[in-house]
Amino acid sequence: MDYSEHYNYNPTLAWNDKVEEYFINAYGADHFSKISKALTHPSSYSCIRVNTLKSTSDTVTEKLLTILQETGHGSDANGVKTLNGDTDITSEVDMGKKQGSISREPNNQVSGQTMMNSILAGDAPKSSLQKFPINKCQVPGLDYVLFVNGSGPHDIQYSSALNKPVKEVIVSRKCAEAVLRGAQVFVPGVLACSAHVEKGDTVAVSVAVEQPVDGGWSVGITRGITLEGTQTDPHHLQRRGLYIGQGTAVLSRAGIFRALHGVAVEMTDRVFNLPSFHGVLEGEIFLQNLPSIITAHALDPQPGDRVLDMCAAPGGKSTALAILMKDEGEIVAADRSHNKVLDIKKLAAEMGLKCVTAHRQDALKAVCQSNETVNLSMQHPDETKSVASEITSCRDFLVDDMESVKTKAVDLHLACNKDVSEEMENQRNYQSKADIRKSMRRMRNGPGRNQTIGGMVEKSKGFSPNSFDRVLLDAPCSALGLRPRLFAGEETMESLKKHGKYQKKMFDQAIHLVRPGGTLVYSTCTLNPGENEAVVRYALDRYKFLSLAPQHPRIGGCGLIGGCELLDENHVEKWLTPEEAELVQRFDPSSSLDTIGFFIAKFSVGQKDI
């Protein structure tokens, strides 16, 4: 067996055939190949946003350096590499120069070392960039953003005893993507394991990726199977080139598949070395992708503004906006998920932000439908007090009127149920098997909605039209720009078109909520032009009072120009004009900025005619 060819990390991203053809038509075959390759790797740095209301960039840098030195991350024998893992850093843009559209040939992209060096450390010499693992962003207005350098990909020596196969663990795709970003291997993510793995053993960690099966996709591994580790193993070829590192087993094989939670393998050698910031300096820092931070700046919120974040979970952009507003004004962070709203509240409290209020609200129903609905948050303070006073008076009247009835009802209830209460008391010590199973499920899955700490979240009835100065619609999308990504075949042309359809509906809601003279920012984390440029085209064509506005800072590339004839349809998907393409920002994961794939469009709202 050629161990070097089998035990390495060289994944090929699988796409739906029609989706791949569509993207090749949009980007060109060579460019799309580079995008697909870049998606399988994590960014070679972590981007950290400092909570400037609690700390400073310099203070956080000192704390992080101490933490990194204690964990050994900052002591790479080969020296810490720059952002993209190479010594030659180029940029997607040239500050001060206009860009053309994204070319189908990536060789036409503007490049130059000056831009990225200025983003990293200003005029600092390159040797200093390689010496320190943390660099401060030097883009004007982004000095509170820190880059913590990682490294990779690395060649791992998967050692084993002579003439004995390597002990292995196969993990799920989602688990592997987290491990590539710096996480450990947790028990729920383990799918299969070699026989006779004991606590303390060194194990090679590979990932099970979906394979084509009968017109669909399937992992084809039943959790708990035993790996043989030889070429006769039915899954041997399936994991070729999909090894993400090796580590030390924290549990035996039996323990891994018996446990419900906890770490199964502690990674010691990784293909990509990125530090984990889980639980580190909570409230002082927030791990966030650079394009997401740029999105908050594009909205340009001012202290005292009323801002709506329509799809706010997990709260990163809402809290970024609050810090830009110096915690003055109001940020309404809305999300349709009850538990995600609780997460937003927790994050805002953790960061000490008072201006963020979280609401449970479906973005497709964000506009208040009833004229009779009272939204206290939109009323003048005097009017709010008047309404509250009337409500209190009505409540007091009802309470007084019902007091005597309640007293009699309580007495009757106590009398009738005295014997029943005694009988129930005797039965309380018995716990049925159904109750036991229910308790075990709750321990395994966590508390349900009604048992969640923090209580229930009040569902919003919607917001009044023209009631916000600025609206951010970071729309749910196909997320095809997120990285690392080891599989993309689940998306079809039909599913991509559905994403675009719902995004347009959300945009229709958003445009009613922002006031004339206000600002609306639309963003996604996908590469799909149908969810990006096509949505912008729809907005500009339908709402003539909208216009694209310049964005600051601008470090991303331009949008796609023209359009694309959709396969098997007599329909051309229209994108942008050259002038419009220069006003949006598109982040390409294959570019030297080494970010996720992302798209940002900023609209100025004129006098409405709706």
DSSP letter at 321? Answer: H
Q: Residue 238 phi/psi, 5° resolution?
A: -65, -30
Burial of 424 (0-12, 13-18, 19+ CB in 10 A): exposed
Q: Which two tokens stand for residue 292?
A: 């997401």
Q: Which two tokens stand for residue 36?
A: 């697909």
- What is the number of other CB atoms lying within 10 angstroms of the CB of residue 431? 10
| CA-closest candidate to residue 280, choices 595, 453, 48 | 48
The answer to whether 296 is a known ligand-binding residue is: no
On whether the CB atoms of residues 336 and 361 are closer than 8 A, the answer is yes
The answer to whether 313 is a known ligand-binding residue is: yes
Bridge partners for 78 per DSSP:
none
On whether the CB atoms of residues 344 and 333 are closer than 8 A, the answer is yes
The answer to whether 362 is a known ligand-binding residue is: yes
Q: Pairing relation of β-strands 572-574 and 330-335?
A: unpaired
Contacts of 537 (CB under 8 A, 6+ apart): 574, 575, 576
The answer to whether 259 is a known ligand-binding residue is: no
| Separation in Å, CA 478 to CA 11, 481, 527 | 21, 8, 9
The answer to whether 85 is a known ligand-binding residue is: no
> Residue 592 in 3-state DSSP?
coil
- What is the number of other CB atoms lying within 10 angstroms of the CB of residue 284? 21
On whether the CB atoms of residues 588 and 35 are closer than 8 A, the answer is yes
| Separation in Å, CA 292 to CA 134, 224, 354, 413, 534 | 20, 39, 22, 58, 21
Catalytic hit among 175, 477, 525, 564:
525
The answer to whether 247 is a known ligand-binding residue is: no
User: Which letter, b or e, does each residue of 55-93 get, where b requires 16 or more Cβ atoms within 10 Å of its Cβ?
Assistant: bebeebbeebbeebeeeebbeeeeebbbbbbeeebbbbb
| CA-closest candidate to residue 595, choices 518, 440, 481 | 481
H helices present in 162-202, as ranges:
173-180
* Per-residue three-class SS string for 468-485: EEEEEEECCCCCCCCCCC
On whether the CB atoms of residues 496 and 529 are closer than 8 A, the answer is no
The answer to whether 14 is a known ligand-binding residue is: no
* 477 given a catalytic annotation: no
Q: Angle CA(248)–CA(249)–CA(253) in degrees, nearest 5?
A: 155
Single-letter amino acid, residue 608: K
The answer to whether 312 is a known ligand-binding residue is: yes
The answer to whether 317 is a known ligand-binding residue is: yes
The answer to whether 300 is a known ligand-binding residue is: no
Q: Pairing relation of β-strands 45-50 and 145-149?
A: antiparallel
Q: Residue 603 phi/psi, 5° resolution?
A: -115, 140
Mark the binding-site residues for S-adenosyl-L-methionine, compressed into ranges. 311-317, 335, 362, 474
Residues identified as active-site: 525
Mark the binding-site residues, compressed into ranges. 311-317, 335, 362, 474
